[in-house]
């Protein structure tokens, strides 16, 4: 697929809400998407059944497991950008190499990472219902995260409304917020 930049769809933007499991990616991502009037993309729905089964068993995914998932998410990002539609994507994107795959050559992809204490993450993971990834993979995910200068790192132990307003302000300040198309 051609990149959105080559096609001239420069007004669309994809904001990726990242972080380890239990940090609030989906909750904050959905709220941000609603606030901005953009579609929300749940990255977990792009996992293969084999990946989900592996995580349910408490086994961490390796880069080979993740690659088709990341490629699918990249294609979804390109689809939205090529259609001129801004969107919010919830996706762990813990390694710089994963973020590079997701972004590809696109300049209109921004990263916001949610962080909180290990104790809060563990509590959230042990009390949430209906998700395939449990607390047994928390330490693996925390060890995998690679910080970078091109992401907004924000404390997710704040109220969702506060997080959404902070992210929206950052998008507006950084020139990333786009008109709805």
**CB–CB of 105/32 below 8 Å?**
no
pLDDT at residue number 10: 57
Distance CA 112, CA 87 (A): 13
Can you give the pTM of this predicted structure?
0.82
Residue 25 lies in a domain: yes
| Cα radius of gyration rounded to whole Å, the chain | 16
What total number of domains does the chain contain?
1
CATH label of the domain that carries residue 110: 3.40.50.300
Give the model's pLDDT for residue 99: 94
User: Does residue 180 belong to any structural domain of this protein?
Assistant: no
| pLDDT band per the 50, 70, 90 thresholds, residue 167 | very high
The reply to whether 16 falls in a domain is yes
The verdict on residue 109 lying in a domain is: yes
Is residue 21 domain-resident?
Answer: yes
Cβ-proximal residues to 97 (8 Å cutoff; 6+ apart), any chain: 63
Query: Is the CB of residue 110 less than 8 Å from the CB of residue 77?
Result: no
User: Does residue 148 lie in a domain region?
Assistant: yes
**Is there a domain that residue 181 lies in?**
no
Domain region containing 104 = 4-173
Tokens of 31: 């709220």
């Amino acid at each position: 697929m051609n990149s959105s930049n080559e096609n001239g769809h420069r007004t669309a933007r994809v904001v990726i809400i990242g972080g380890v499991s239990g940090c609030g990616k989906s909750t904050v991502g959905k709220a941000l998407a609603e606030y901005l009037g953009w579609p929300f993309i749940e990255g977990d729905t792009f996992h293969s059944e084999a990946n989900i089964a592996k995580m349910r068993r408490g086994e961490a995914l390796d880069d080979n497991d993740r690659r088709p998932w990341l490629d699918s998410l990249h294609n979804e990002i390109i689809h939205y950008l090529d259609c001129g539609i801004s969107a919010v994507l919830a996706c762990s994107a813990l390694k710089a190499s994963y973020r590079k795959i997701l972004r590809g050559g696109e300049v209109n992809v921004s990263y916001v990472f949610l962080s909180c204490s290990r104790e809060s993450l563990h509590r959230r993971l042990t009390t949430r219902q209906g998700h395939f990834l449990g607390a047994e993979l928390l330490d693996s995910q925390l060890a995998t995260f690679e910080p970078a200068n091109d992401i907004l790192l924000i404390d997710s132990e704040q109220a969702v409304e506060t997080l959404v307003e902070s992210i929206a302000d950052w998008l507006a300040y950084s020139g990333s917020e786009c008109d709805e198309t």
